[in-house]
Structure 1
Amino acid sequence: MRRIILGLLLAGIVTSCGKTKKKETVAEVTETITEEVKEELAPISNAMMENAVIYEANIRQYSEEGSFKAFTKDIPTLKNLGVKVLWVMPIYPISTTKSKGPLGSYYAISDYTKVNPEFGTLEDFRDLVKTAHDNGIYVILDWVANHTGWDHVWLKEHPEFYTKDDKGEITHTVGTDWTDVADLNYDNQEMRAEMVKAMQYWLKEEGVDGFRCDVAGMVPVDFWDATVVELKKIKPVFMLAEGWEPELMENAFDMGYGWDTHHVMNHIAKGENTVADWDKRMKQVDSMYAADDILMNFTSNHDENSWNGTVQERMGDAKELFAALSYVAPGMPLIYSGQEYDMDKRLLFFEKDTIIKKKGVFYPLYEKLGKLKNENTALHGGKSAASYERIKTSADDKVLVFKREKENNKVIFVANMTKQPVKFTAEYEGEFKEYLSGESIKGTKGQEYDLDPWQYLILIE
């Protein structure tokens, strides 16, 4: 049993319970039944971004079938986790020319407006989108604007759309080992126009709600700025940049990657950084980004998992702490396919692999964290985010304590960010409930507290 400590800080929060609307239908045989109402999904809004959880769907590896249909069946389980945005990794046909591995990379696209038959049909994808919308979840597509696969029709019909070397030959992106893709030339205005048309297709015809844009910082910012203006003429969209550059979020993107936050978490878990590095990162975020910029918090994603290691490899016994921190820190938390099932393997990238869907530690943890994120304004992390206040203790090099607050709601996070037990004092008092355990805690000023290695508390009143 965890040693619950703390009566640390300043105040608590009052959580509110969401209510599912019901309606009563009288059948022709006069039998009365009650059924859940499926309301039409509202357009993308700033309000949705405040309390959302985002999920990255790796269709190929999610199930043994590796299909849209197999994934669609499990969408209601994502709703249980508080997911409001579904990011689907590239679903388009994959080029075979210069392909890596037996199945190739999702990011070597041969046609921007078709689906990969490996995953199923366009009708199957439409059912995925409808099911997500019926469950209150928005769908964003992974968009690869920097390059295409070598089988794309543009290479034959419009070679001028591509970057060429000093020999006049089309080349892959300079400075990378992405030999399976051809680099696009953004000096060509016709290519830009065709790219926009392809993105508009998915909004107009297939009902998607936005895009996660691959290596967004490698594409000119002015393209994104102009393109999003055109996309928003069709419908409100949610735009996620695979990039950290503040200029991406000045106009075009709602959210970017919290790469440096992620790296600090990895280094703390390995004992290479301390709480001081977390504090430095939070100050850096305040100075670099505008108040309405959103950063995505994550302990894994498809790149990290396949190339840098599993959460267990990188974070070890600290993995639960950092999962919780990704929810309570400013920003939007990400779940990568398989994390909810305690996945502890590096998924193959260029060939078929399978996630074993067996609930363990993380599904119930994400379920509780998602509920708190969805329902408590003190964890708002969007364009009108809750405040973040660091609270000092007698062991600030080892213990992280901060308060989030908005609309009279407060959440206090307390964590031992080391692999050793720690004792500390904090000059605060109050009566709290530890959110995950439900245990009551009463603390007084000057009281000494104990935390086990990597122990964390989420305090509410």
Structure 2
Amino acid sequence: MARSTNTDLRKQLIYSVFVRDFSASGDFRGLENDLKRIKDLGTDTIWLMPVYPIGKVDRKGSLGSPYAIKDYLDIDINYGTKQSFHELVDKIHENNMKVMIDIVFNHTSRDSVLLSEHPDWFLRDNEGTLKNKNEEWTDVAELDYGNLELWDYQIKVLKHYAEFVDGFRCDVAPQVPIDFWMKARSEVTKVNPKMMWLAESTDGEYVRSLRDRGFWSSSDGELYNAFDMTYDYEIDHLWRSYVKGEIDDSTYVAKLNEQTVIYPDNAIKMRGIENHDQSRAHDIIPNNNDLVNWTAFYGFQRGSMLIYNGQEIGAKHTPSLFEREPIEWADIQIDLSDLIKKSHELMQDDIQVDGAYKVVSQGHGIVSVDYQLDDRKRIGVFTLRSNHGIAKVDVTDGIYKNLLDGKEINISNGIIDVKGLPIIIDIG
């Protein structure tokens, strides 16, 4: 780890872009034209989903998955050129944002440069046939990290990009040995000591299923030996069960609190209610008021915040990874831009970075979050199931200002009357 991880990364708003579907042109230029708006959301870092050439052999759909990569050191001609990629990075930097790129080192396409030049670097069965850990991934060939020459090659790739980008989001990071990631980080630090490292971690059942079949798979705790940030997929199944009404909030809340004690003190979770692998949040949370509360709640959790392109307009359609389905930016279902921006502003306060943190189930779909730093408190109250009710808080009675909308909040006998909208107040 990320022993060196700076907790200020909890202030990060990370905006994920699928270049193919982001704009009408589906290229780097289309993204460049919208950088000011993205920055105005509060974005600190733009995470670019893979921008490399996509393989054709066993391709899924007509365009293929951006995660079936033919060449790590080239650029998809549909997006632009190496030069235009560098120009995009420069433009993002000029707009005071950082660039995080997708690193997909578990597998390549089935017609990749590596498979052609180094067929011995890939997992195979006893008959020599390519073998995948996940049978659904029929468009990729998985790499075998038993070959140390592969380590050297991949680290050279990382060092190349570390010369001009600011972060790596590492796809299915648990399936690549943690010793590789630790060595990679050590080597990359020599080129760029400020590099951000984000692991796409996985849930416990997936880790178990791989281990039971004799494959390497890292837990989140192990990943923090090399990474600054991980996904919160280990509790994602509980979140989805709660949203569906299958469990009450106490189970979900308990797991959120557990994260503060099972991971290193400076460990960072990236919080997000949607991404390219999951259904749109507005699709699974159709009620606008609930969506507002969930967006505010996730922005108030300890950790960095993820926004997937189109989330800010409440898009409901989840774009395919295998076809071109441009975001309909004019079709605004609900404009969450101001809420996202305000959440980011609040994240900059050290109380949400280093303050003592606790999530409390208030019952009936109402959840509160408490931060305390020295003699200051910050409390958020969120109704996650369109319920009106009350929240009990350890606060002196009086009138407080809701930091989200500026309205007055009356606390009487230690009780807040919750009327549907998210509330965040400062005390002291």
**Length-normalised TM-score, structure 1:** 0.82
Partner of 1:162: 122
Bigger CA radius of gyration? 1
Partner of 1:389: 358
How many Å separate the matches in 2 of 1:153 and 1:408? 58
- Larger CA deviation: 241-250 vs 97-106: 241-250
Secondary structure at the aligned position of 2:24 is classed as coil
How many Å separate the matches in 1 of 2:222 and 2:240? 25
Partner of 1:273: 247
| 1:199 to partner: Cα distance | 1.4
| 1:405 to partner: Cα distance | 2.9
Q: Judge conservation of contact 1:414–1:457 (CA < 8 Å) in 2.
A: yes
| 1:162 to partner: Cα distance | 0.7
1:297 maps to 2:271 = yes
Partner of 2:44: 84
Secondary structure at the aligned position of 1:303 is classed as coil
**Which of 385, 388, 405 lines up with 1:437 in the alignment?**
405
Q: Judge conservation of contact 2:7–2:266 (CA < 8 Å) in 1.
A: no
How many Å separate the matches in 2 of 1:260 and 1:158? 35
How many Å separate the matches in 2 of 1:119 and 1:460? 46
**Which of 227, 250, 254 lines up with 2:224 in the alignment?**
250
1:174 maps to 2:133 = yes
| 1:175 to partner: Cα distance | 3.2
1:190 maps to 2:158 = no
**Which of 292, 296, 309 lines up with 1:324 in the alignment?**
296
Cα 1:250–1:372 shift into 2, 3 Å: closer
Cα 1:379–1:78 shift into 2, 3 Å: farther
| 1:268 to partner: Cα distance | 2.6
**Which of 344, 347, 355 lines up with 2:316 in the alignment?**
344
| 1:397 to partner: Cα distance | 5.2
Secondary structure at the aligned position of 1:50 is classed as helix
1:310 maps to 2:283 = no
Instruction: List gaps (5 residues or longer) in structure 1.
Output: 1-43
Secondary structure at the aligned position of 1:302 is classed as coil
Deviations 1:267-310 (A, max 9, x none): 33222222212321123212321111101111100000xxxx32
Secondary structure at the aligned position of 2:377 is classed as strand
Secondary structure at the aligned position of 1:186 is classed as coil
How many Å separate the matches in 2 of 1:301 and 1:354? 16
Deviations 1:98-117 (A, max 9, x none): 11111001011111111000
1:120 maps to 2:80 = yes
**Which of 141, 144, 150 lines up with 2:104 in the alignment?**
144
Cα 1:187–1:391 shift into 2, 3 Å: closer
| 1:458 to partner: Cα distance | 1.4
Cα 1:409–1:357 shift into 2, 3 Å: farther
2:237 maps to amino acid? H
- Larger CA deviation: 358-367 vs 51-60: 358-367
| 1:80 to partner: Cα distance | 1.1
Partner of 1:23: none
Q: Judge conservation of contact 2:5–2:267 (CA < 8 Å) in 1.
A: no
Cα 1:427–1:46 shift into 2, 3 Å: closer
Cα 1:112–1:278 shift into 2, 3 Å: same
How many Å separate the matches in 1 of 2:99 and 2:144? 28
| 1:86 to partner: Cα distance | 1.4
1:368-383 aligned at under 5 Å gives the runs 368-374=342-348, 376-380=349-353
Identity level (%): 30
How many Å separate the matches in 1 of 2:351 and 2:414? 26
Cα 1:95–1:426 shift into 2, 3 Å: closer
Secondary structure at the aligned position of 1:243 is classed as coil
1:400 maps to 2:367 = yes
Partner of 1:240: 198
Q: Judge conservation of contact 1:413–1:457 (CA < 8 Å) in 2.
A: yes
Instruction: List gaps (5 residues or longer) in structure 2.
Output: 203-218
Deviations 1:45-66 (A, max 9, x none): 8264131111111100101111
Structure number with greater CO (CA < 8 Å, separation at least 6) is: 1
| 1:184 to partner: Cα distance | 0.6
Cα 1:240–1:271 shift into 2, 3 Å: same
Partner of 2:170: 213
